[in-house]
Amino acid sequence: MGNMKVAALSVSAIVLVAIVATVAVTISNLDSEPAKTQFSSSQKNIKDFCNPTDYQETCESTLSAAAGNSTDPKELVNLAFQITIDQIKEAFNHSTVLSEAAKNPRTSDALENCRELLDYAIDDLRSSIDQLEGFSLIKLDKFLDDLKVWISASITYQETCLDGFENTTTNAAESMRKALNSSAEMTSNILAIVINLDNTLDSLNLGISRKLLAEEYPSWVSLGKRRLLQLSPAELKPNVTVAQDGTGDVKTINDALLRVPKKSNHTFVIYIKEGVYKEKVQVNRSLTNVIMVGDGTNKTKITGSLNYIDGTATFKTATVAVIGDGFIGKDLWIENSAGAAKHQAVALRVQSDKSVFYNVRIDGYQDTLYVHTKRQFYRDCNISGTIDFIFGDGAAVLQNCLILARKPMDNQQNIVTAQGRKDRRQATAIVLHNCTISADPAFFPFREKLPTFLGRPWKEFSRTFVLQSQLDDLIDPKGWLPWFENFGLNTCFYTELDNRGPGANTSQRVKWKGVKTIGYAHAQKFTVEHFIQGNTWLPKSGVPYIPGLLPMTEAGRIH
């Protein structure tokens, strides 16, 4: 190994304590000159550690102040994460002080939501630290994918906190922005260093094969449970059955959630019998590996009507919010019935990493599906709405889904997606693969008068892929819509590949710098297999999925 490559590893060591040692030992064993693996004082220099980041001054000044004369990578890694967590805690405490002084109800709600969101941000950074121990080099590649997702989520939570102050009339928004400025920069820096380490390992070419990285099934996943989604409710043998008519164990979904063990590695199956459940449902962060199965998309309905116009912040309008990791939903109908005139009204908000929604109907108008953070997979789902009705900053793949534009208000237009990527390195995007975008029957006669666009850039680095999908004639020839003036038009990443139907003609698409033309090799990076690492976790659920792009024949696409 050359000194340059070892130095690159040294730069990235700030993020990984145990892994740095593993990499160093492995390289030492591979190299005939072990002396080259020693970290020199210059390699340990904080300036070198901070070199890959966008906010080098923040990185250098905060680490230098805390580290003193120490250049020990293990100490620096702990400091980098701990400083970021401490700064988020300060912002958390700042929100409490502001909340006590706030008189405006919307401002008070925004501050309350900030405390919840910042708690999520801290938790994801802590999870990153906790998971550093015990990873061998052979699994390092997979672990870095996880780390990028978690740190990306931490960035999003801080941004969502600030989003909550839109249209408030106090100085709280600016005050919170200042309080979060340093932590936002440090979180961005950590992500930059992780990605630099990932790139360094690729350049070292140590012979690690991604094919070796598939997760082994945990001991609790029997052969039968690997096909959970292929079983009927009776065959599933649910842990708890919900039935309004009293024929189950409980009458409400929330009562069922009270029975779920916390932080469990075992699946917990909730069977929700046919009925209309008027509940606000939240699967909390501590409720992991929950499966909710209904009687079908026209039979088991969970409905609510919370909305922005009537005073609820967008983040809290969700009829169903899923936060606990490993969630699976099947054969359900989730609705926000507030209507077009009530503006933001979320039906489903998802923060659950490695979550699956299979044959789920999700209905609303503006902001129907909030793919908030982390890895999410939607298969054979029906999603309806008007403005930005699939939005958020998760790593979300929607496959074989029917996406229906509904009739908006007469002064509105439909936008299918509004992706919220704030940092250019975040491992997030909305990917529509082999979907159909069409007009709801009630909207069909108005589709030429009220245009429908594929997306608009909610945040500066908004990223959306429309791949191998059917685009009906409701899609405006321009394809994409600005958010506000020129915001994000040069920095977004919007692309279409191998689509079909009358709306798929790209000859009149907008000519922004951010609207890209890509090939199959690039698009493959944003498929289920590569973008959300689906081959490592989807098989055990039993959900059908297409790992990569579909093949083509002269007669058309093979399904």
**Residue 404 · residue 368 · CB < 8 Å:** no
pLDDT at residue number 190? 92
DSSP-assigned beta bridge partners for residue 281: 320
Q: Could you tell me if 9 and 69 are in contact, meaning their C-beta atoms sit under 8 angstroms apart?
A: no
Q: Quick one: DSSP state of residue 498?
A: S
What tens digit of pLDDT does each residue of 492-511 get? Answer: 999 999 999 999 999 999 99
| Mean pLDDT of each 10-residue bin along the chain, 559 residues long | 37 40 36 38 65 91 79 72 92 84 84 94 90 56 85 97 84 90 94 82 55 38 53 82 96 98 95 97 97 97 97 96 97 97 97 98 98 98 98 98 97 97 98 98 96 98 98 98 97 97 97 97 96 93 93 49
CATH class of 240-541: mainly beta
Sign of CA dihedral 115, 118, 120, 125: negative
- pTM for the predicted model, two decimal places: 0.90
Concerning whether 109 is annotated as a catalytic residue, the answer is no
Domain boundaries of the chain, sorted by first residue:
42-204, 240-541
Cβ–Cβ < 8 Å for 487, 457: yes
Which residue of the set 163, 388, 393, 423 is catalytic? 388
Q: How far apart are CA 277 and CA 280, in angstroms?
A: 9
Answer for the pair 298, 331: CB distance below 8 angstroms, yes or no. no
Give the residue among 197, 166, 146, 150 at the shortest CA–CA distance from 23: 197
CA 278 → CA 251, 304, 315, 451, distances in Å?
11, 6, 19, 33
Question: CA-CA distance, 423 to 409, in Å (whole number)?
Answer: 33
CATH class of the region 42-204: mainly alpha
How many angstroms separate the CA atoms of 518 and 220, rounded?
A: 42
Cα→Cα distances 469→95, 436, 532, Å: 44, 6, 19
> Which among 8, 317, 351 has a CA at the least distance from the CA of 152?
351
Residue 31: the pLDDT is 39
Give me the pLDDT at residue 89, please.
Answer: 94
pLDDT at 74: 64
**Which stretch of DSSP H or E encloses residue 362?**
strand 355-363
**Using CA atoms, how far apart are residues 506 and 484, in angstroms rounded to an integer?**
23
CA dist 17 and 78 (Å) reads 8
C-alpha span between 369 and 374 (Å, rounded): 14
